[in-house]
Amino acid sequence: MKKYIGCDLGGTNLRAGVVDPTDGKILADRSTPALAREGHEAVMERMAALMEQVITDSGLPKSEFGGIGIGVPGLLDLKNGLTLFLPNLSGHWKKVPLRDTIANKVGLPTFLLNDVRSITYGEWKFGGGRGVDSMACYAIGTGIGGGIVVGGKLHMGVDGTAGELGHQTIDFNGPKCGCGSNGCVEAYASGPAIAAAGLKVVTQGATTKIGELAGYDLNKIDAALIAKAANMGDAIAKEIYERAGEALGIAISNTLVTIDAHKIVIGGGVAQAGDLLLEPIRRTIKKRVFIMPLEEVEVALAELGGNAGIIGAAAFAASQVEGE
């Protein structure tokens, strides 16, 4: 099978890699920083150049390449290959013909995909979700994104917007969410939500290692630092992860009663907390899901880390060109 290029268009980094879609191996990759302030024309120019570079890096002729997949952080018009709204990029990329521009510049068939759906696809094909015909991926970082695989296919929904699992309401009286609704699981268990819980206990003067580890600099309190405190045995830090895991467990229970996924893959930076998060998730599911055979459901960590996006975007492009 031909090789494919996977590209991750992020708010702070642009990354492209050459991927073998038969095993998900990355044969070459490069990234460049700081795109948020550049206009879309300049960014697309740099994307194309980066792709040409990784093609050169791989040592393979362009004829050995089957196509390009781009993971995009925002709303898309898939039919016309346009970006509609990318909240973290300069000018928000309204109706930018990203697909055709890159296809023309690089000379390869190009496919767009939401960035978290790229991660989902990568984890399903080669990571924590491989081998199952239904799964849900929760990517927990600044926000909570997701994606679902149903009946052996990545489910796209209207313009690839299916799988926004972070915006399930778990408490209709709950706190405001960035999306405009309230009580979304993202408002309980995203990185900033976990950090805010840590900030709160420190400013309230609770006895916790969180403040100590941060040297009492409140700006240093983040989800990773709280996980560190929890792993040192700090009861309050553990409790913060317990609450976040419960919130995630409730959202995952809703996913399970809806699509009955065999596997739930937890990724993103916050997932580095590992069992601090997975244990309360598993306990919560057992307390909430009674009408399906839970023994066939596994909750696992993502396995591809920061590579999931480019691997998934490339493998998705391969599936579009060559069939599943």
Instruction: Please name the amino acid found at residue 181.
Output: S
Please identify which residue in 170, 266, 301, 314 interacts with a second copy, judged by CB under 8 A.
170
Closest approach of a second copy to the CB of residue 313, in Å: 20
Q: Verify binding: residue 248, a second copy, rule CB under 8 A.
A: no
Q: Are 237 and 230 in contact (CB under 8 A)?
A: yes
Please identify which residue in 246, 310, 312, 318 interacts with a second copy, judged by CB under 8 A.
246
Q: Are 104 and 188 in contact (CB under 8 A)?
A: no
Closest approach of a second copy to the CB of residue 84, in Å: 9
Please identify which residue in 123, 164, 222, 234 interacts with a second copy, judged by CB under 8 A.
164
For 225-235, b where at least 16 C-beta lie within 10 A, e where not — what string? bbbbbbbeebe
Closest approach of a second copy to the CB of residue 127, in Å: 21
Q: Are 82 and 92 in contact (CB under 8 A)?
A: no
Q: Are 318 and 324 in contact (CB under 8 A)?
A: no
Q: Verify binding: residue 300, a second copy, rule CB under 8 A.
A: no
Please identify which residue in 37, 153, 200, 220 interacts with a second copy, judged by CB under 8 A.
153
Q: Verify binding: residue 258, a second copy, rule CB under 8 A.
A: yes
Write the burial class of residue 152 (CB in 10 Å: 0-12 exposed, 13-18 middle, 19+ buried).
Answer: exposed
Q: Are 308 and 119 in contact (CB under 8 A)?
A: yes
Q: Which CB, 57 or 77, lies closer to a second copy?
A: 77
Residues near a second copy (CB under 8 A), total: 48
Residue with tokens 């009663």: 257
Closest approach of a second copy to the CB of residue 60, in Å: 34
Q: Are 182 and 192 in contact (CB under 8 A)?
A: no
Q: Verify binding: residue 169, a second copy, rule CB under 8 A.
A: yes
Q: Are 89 and 40 in contact (CB under 8 A)?
A: yes
Q: Is 97 left (phi over 0), alpha (psi -120 to 50) or beta?
A: beta
Q: Verify binding: residue 83, a second copy, rule CB under 8 A.
A: no
For 137-148, b where at least 16 C-beta lie within 10 A, e where not — what string? bbbbbbbbbbbb
Which range in 5-13, 196-204, 211-219, 244-252 contacts a second copy by CB under 8 A?
Answer: 244-252
Q: Verify binding: residue 232, a second copy, rule CB under 8 A.
A: no
Please identify which residue in 61, 131, 180, 233 interacts with a second copy, judged by CB under 8 A.
180
Q: Verify binding: residue 134, a second copy, rule CB under 8 A.
A: yes
Q: Verify binding: residue 167, a second copy, rule CB under 8 A.
A: yes
Closest approach of a second copy to the CB of residue 83, in Å: 14
Neighbouring-strand partners of residue 4: 19, 67
Q: Are 252 and 299 in contact (CB under 8 A)?
A: yes
Q: Verify binding: residue 323, a second copy, rule CB under 8 A.
A: no
Q: Verify binding: residue 233, a second copy, rule CB under 8 A.
A: no
Cα 173 off chain centre by: 27
Binding site for a second copy (CB under 8 A): 75, 134, 148, 150-151, 153, 155-159, 161-165, 167-173, 179-181, 183, 246-247, 250, 253-255, 257-262, 287-293, 296-297
